[in-house]
Chains A and B, each alone.
Chain A
Amino acid sequence: MRIAFAGNPNSGKTTMFNALTGSNEKVGNWAGVTVDKKTGIIKKKFYSGGETLFAVDLPGAYSMSPFTAEESVTSTYIKKEAPDVIINIVDATNIARSLFFTTQLLELGVPVVVALNKSDINKKKETRIDTVALSGLLGCPVYTTVSSSAKLEGLKEVVGAAVALKGKEQKAPYTAEDGAPADLEAAKAADRKRFDFVNSIVEKVETRRQSSGEKNIHDKIDAVLTNKWAGIPIFAVVMFLVFQISQAWLGAWIAEGVEIGGREIPGLVTLIDAFKEWVAGSLSHANVFWAALLTEGIIGGVSAVVGFLPLVMVMYFLIALLEDCGYMARVSVVLDPIFKKVGLSGKSVIPFVVGTGCAVPGVMACRTIRSDRERRATAMLAPFMPCGAKLPIIGLFAGAFFGEASWVGTLMYFVGILIILLGALLVNKITGFKNKKSFFIIELPEYKVPSLWRAIKSMCQRGWSYVVKAGTVILLCNAVVYVMQSFTWGLKLVAEDAPETSILATVAGPIAILLIPIGVRAWEMAAAAVTGFIAKENVVGTLAVCYGISNLINTEELAMVEGADSAVAAAFGLTKAAALAYLMFNLFTPPCFAAIGAMNSEMKSAKWFWGGIGLQLAVGYTVAYAVYTVGTLITDPASLALLPAILGFAAVLGFAGVIVAIGVHNNKKAKEELAKKAL
């Protein structure tokens, strides 16, 4: 038996789906978190009987007439796949809006059970809904439910009712006039009629103590946090604090260890180092290659990435708290006016916010955008927001070159936003798009004290994903990198005094030439940048393998490598300007292959896809070049090599030339098409 979970966006469908099936699908307190259908098996404890119940979680929809790709997933599934029963999840705090979709579902003839979700909020606000009367008026069972992880109420009743309704007929309390509306006005009139019917039901069943028009404490907080002028500085301060706590305070203490009351408590990195040394000691008489492959290539490479786990997990925890308390949804509102000015959809903000966790769901979230041009532009620009996988790279360079300064991480996010804005303007120019006014409507969740349990759960899930990636993709890459670094093309072990004869050096060497204008000369850095396309954490892993350093957090070890504190940066052979440039190069060039694949599937256009990859390469290189050149001119002008600087400038001019040429070509084509149409 198949049960479809349908309802308005942000009504709690995925939360209920997770509770019933035990899945861990991403949930959020804003609309558009689910963009594709998900299937799971409902746990036996929620119903009696031997039949297996398949639950199908559908993306949120306001109507059966889809406007966006994810809404069409819902309407197509319900109309064509004919589930046995529909559980319609209704946001109990706003039934006036939700019942519009309910009345459309009831017309389809498929049995419907209505779950008035988030009923605990109604209790707090003393809003009462007469479920018996509502059930009578709609002609289907209605139950109040709470499906948050802390509390579960009414789920057994809902599933039980759904099982009992299988095969039964559903009568509709309201039926639209036959046939599709003749025009837009007719469609609007039909919708108004339906809303009138819904409002008549709401009047009969709902009693509110608090009028939705009254200003409350939430509105007062919103007036500050989403203020036109204060919103962005507040966001900057919040992000700075997030980085300070995760990279310099709590995260760093857990990673490096801390001294409490004169007693040294070892950190994760110290423990990993001790394990690595124990393995190396146990294999002291083994063949040098096999022992080193295990200790330096596999354990060393993976532990360099895992060493950043505390920093990343603390950051995930803080972001989860910000999401849960309702702040991240407000960030969308703060950024929306700026994005609209550069021709992006107001909805583009959501993919950018989601992209801070992982670029893949960030790009997938673009399908909530209606316009093809805006959706493709957003998918192209979303990877510029630094994702979770890029945090270890930020942590590494901020720690090794800038004394764990939190401004480095915060700056990377704001540079990402700036690139998105400039990139959107560039895309407008290239495509000959004239900016049109668009609207962004988002339901802001109420402020609440964030749930520590949810934040810990989210942190652990994301932390586990990080460990899984480190133990699989990163591990395999590090092993390959180590083997390539250890052998020559003649399959002989590389001599200690000739590392440039290794397979890795000869492959990465030519790429390193391209990086000279951004201040990077080492083939190891080029190899790390290339392996970063497989997974961005690989940059850290590859550097660890190539330089033979597994502890990239505790900078004392780096100091020991060079023998002096002042030479910490020299371990990588970079100046501060070059380090910042290299960091930005890794952050703003194309994302990992998984995100590139997501871009391809969302854009559905080879022209846009390759244009996007080209733009990302050009932007990443240009930003890195500008940072290195300007940074060096400010800090140490004498060290700037003239020839690489000129060649780099020529490359940047080349990128600009290609973009202008494409823009002129497209504009000319658009004008010709317009002229043809005029004829």
Chain B
Amino acid sequence: MTETIIAAVAVAVIIGLALFYVIRSKRKGRKCIGCPDAKGCPMVKDGVCSCNTKNK
């Protein structure tokens, strides 16, 4: 029973962290997560990604 709980918690934590990273990256405006040289936004200014501004 304890091992089952440990396994389930480990799965939940791993998936939760992965989801958190993906959602945070998307909110930052990343076009592709983990793609080399494809990060469109080096900085977030006032909560708005620099590549999502009206001047793009």
Contact with B along A462-488 (1 / 0, CB 8 A): 100111111111011001000000000
**Using an 8 Å CB-CB cutoff, how does the interface string of A146-164 with B read, 1 for contact, 0 for none?**
0000000000000000000
A360 adjacent to B14 (CB under 8 Å): no
Q: Does A286 contact B (CB under 8 A)?
A: yes
Contact, CB under 8 Å: A40 / B6: no
**A358/B32 in contact, CB under 8 A:** yes
Distance to closest chain B CB from A652 (angstroms):
32
From residue B26, how far is it (CB to closest CB) to chain A in Å? 11
Are A388 and B36 in touch, CB under 8 angstroms? yes
Distance in Å: Cβ of B24 to nearest Cβ of chain A: 10
Interface residues of B, count at CB 8 A: 30
Q: How many A-B residue pairs have CB under 8 A?
A: 119
Enumerate chain A residues within 8 angstroms of B42, measured Cβ to Cβ: 21, 23, 25, 38-40
Chain B residues within 8 Å of A80, by CB:
55
Contact indicator A38/B50 (Cβ below 8 Å): yes
Cα distance A677–B11 in the bound complex, in angstroms: 66
Interface pair B31/A357, CB less than 8 Å apart: no
Q: Is A41 an interface residue (CB 8 A)?
A: yes
Query: Which residues of B22-42 are within 8 A (CB) of A?
Result: 22, 25, 31-38, 40, 42
Contact with A along B1-15 (1 / 0, CB 8 A): 001101110110011
Tell me the minimal C-beta distance from B23 to chain A in angstroms. Answer: 10
Q: Nearest Cβ in chain B — how far from A327, in angstroms?
A: 19
A87–B20 alpha-carbon span in the complex (Å): 38
Q: Which residues of B contact A469 (CB under 8 A)?
A: 33-35
- A282:B3 contact, CB within 8 angstroms: yes
Which of B7, B10, B43 interacts with A287 by CB under 8 Å?
B7
Stretch of A288-296, A331-339, A519-527 lying at the B interface: A288-296
Q: How far is the CA of A357 from the CA of B43 in the complex (A)?
A: 23
Residues of A within 8 A of B6 (CB): 283, 286
A447 interface residue, CB < 8 Å from B? no
Binding site for B on A (CB under 8 A): 21, 23, 25-26, 36-41, 54, 76-77, 80-81, 282-287, 290-291, 293-294, 298, 316, 354, 357-358, 360-361, 388-389, 461-462, 465-473, 475-476, 479, 535, 592, 594-595, 597-598
Shortest beta-carbon contacts, A-B, top 7: A469-B34, A594-B32, A286-B3, A360-B38, A290-B7, A39-B50, A462-B36
Extra A-B contacts (9), CB below 8 Å, given A21-B42, A286-B7, A475-B15: A286-B3, A290-B4, A290-B8, A354-B37, A358-B38, A388-B36, A465-B36, A467-B34, A472-B25
24 pairs of residues in contact across A and B, judged by CB atoms under 8 Å: A21-B42, A25-B42, A36-B51, A36-B56, A37-B55, A38-B42, A38-B43, A283-B6, A284-B3, A285-B3, A286-B6, A290-B11, A291-B7, A294-B7, A294-B10, A360-B31, A360-B32, A360-B37, A467-B34, A469-B34, A472-B34, A535-B34, A594-B31, A594-B32
